[in-house]
Structure 1
C-alpha cells in the first residue's frame, strides 16, 4: 500500500554523505560542536517516530478489537493531530530557516537539501490524506460504529506510509545536517 503515495525510493546521493564519513552518527554525541539546539532537533525527530508508531499501533489495535472504537477515536484525534500539526510546523521551519542556514554554511550539499525539501512536499500529501481519513473515522465513531470501523481500514495504510516515510526521511536529514553542523560548528 505504500505505493499509493509518492515517496523517494532512492538513497541520498553518495556525494551528499561525504561528511558523514568524517562525522559518523555514533560519534556525534561526543563531538564538542554537538550542542543543545541540535539535541533538541534530534529529540523532535525521535518524538515524530514514536508518535507515528503509536498511531499505527493504535490503528492495528482497533482493527484487532484490542481497544474500543471510542478510545481509538480519542487517541487518533490526539496523537494524529499532534503528529500532523507538529510535522507541518517542523518542516516549514526547516525549509525556511534551517536548510538555508545549512546551505549558506556549505552549498556543496544543496542537492541533498533540495531532496529533503521535496520529501517535505511529498509528506504533506500523506499527512493531508491521513487527516481526511482520520477525521472521517472520528466523526463516524459517534454516528455509526459499523461504518467507522470500515473506514479504519483506510487509516492503516496511511499510518504505515507516514511511519515508513519518516524512517527514511529523518535518517537522511539527520545524516546530512548534523555532519554539516559539526563540521562548521553551527547552532552553538
Structure 2
C-alpha cells in the first residue's frame, strides 16, 4: 500500500509539538481563541475523511458486487471529483495563505510547516493517480465490467491508502496549527 501512496511514516519533530502540550486537543473547543474559521477549517478536514471513507466503501461494494456498476461509476465521478478538487483547493489555500500566516506568528514551527507542504506535494501525485485510475474504472464500467472490477482493485488500494494518508497528514496538521492559532489568538 505505501509503495503506491507515499505515506510519511516519521513523526513530527518533538519540538513541533511544544505548544500541543500547552494546548491539548481535548481542550481546544473550550478555548476562547478557538474561532469559527478554525472550526470550519477542521470541519473541512472531517469532510475529506468522510469522503475518502465513502469512496472506499463504494469501491469495496462494487468489488463485492453489492453496488450497481452504473451507480458506482456515477458515485465515483461525483464524489471522487469532489474529493480531488476540494483537497487541491484546501491545500492551495494552506500553502499560499494559512501556513504563511502561522509562520509569521511563530517561525519556530516552520520546520513542521515544511513537512506539511511536502505532504501536499506527495498528495498531489496521489490524487493524480487516483483520478487516472477512477477515470479508467468509469469508462470500463460501460465497456467491460470484468476489466472495470480488475481496475477497481487498484482503486480500492488507492482509496484505503488515501484515507491512511489523510489520517496522518490532517492529524499532524491540526496538532501543529491549532495550538499556534490558540497561543497567538489568530483568526479570531
- Using structure 2 for the length normalisation, give the TM-score: 0.98
Partner of 2:126: 126
Partner of 1:34: 34
Partner of 1:112: 112
Q: CA deviation at 1:69?
A: 1.0
Q: CA deviation at 1:68?
A: 1.3
Q: CA deviation at 1:151?
A: 1.1
Q: Which runs of 5+ in 1 are unaligned?
A: none
Q: Detail structure 1 runs of 4+ shifted over 3 Å in the superposition.
A: none
**Can you list the C-alpha shifts for 1:94-129, whole angstroms capped at 9, x where unaligned?**
000000000000000000000000000011111000
- Using structure 1 for the length normalisation, give the TM-score: 0.98
**Can you list the C-alpha shifts for 1:127-163, whole angstroms capped at 9, x where unaligned?**
0001000000111111222221221111011111110
Cα distance in structure 2, aligned partners of 1:168 and 1:121 = 15
Give the alignment of 1:93-172 within 5 angstroms. 93-172=93-172
Give the alignment of 1:66-77 within 5 angstroms. 66-77=66-77
Say whether the 8 Å CA contact 1:2–1:160 is kept in structure 2.
no
CA RMSD of aligned residues (A): 0.8
**Can you list the C-alpha shifts for 1:21-54, whole angstroms capped at 9, x where unaligned?**
0000000000000010000000000000000000
Q: Which runs of 5+ in 2 are unaligned?
A: none
Query: Is residue 89 of structure 2 the alignment partner of residue 89 of structure 1?
Result: yes
Q: CA deviation at 1:15?
A: 0.2
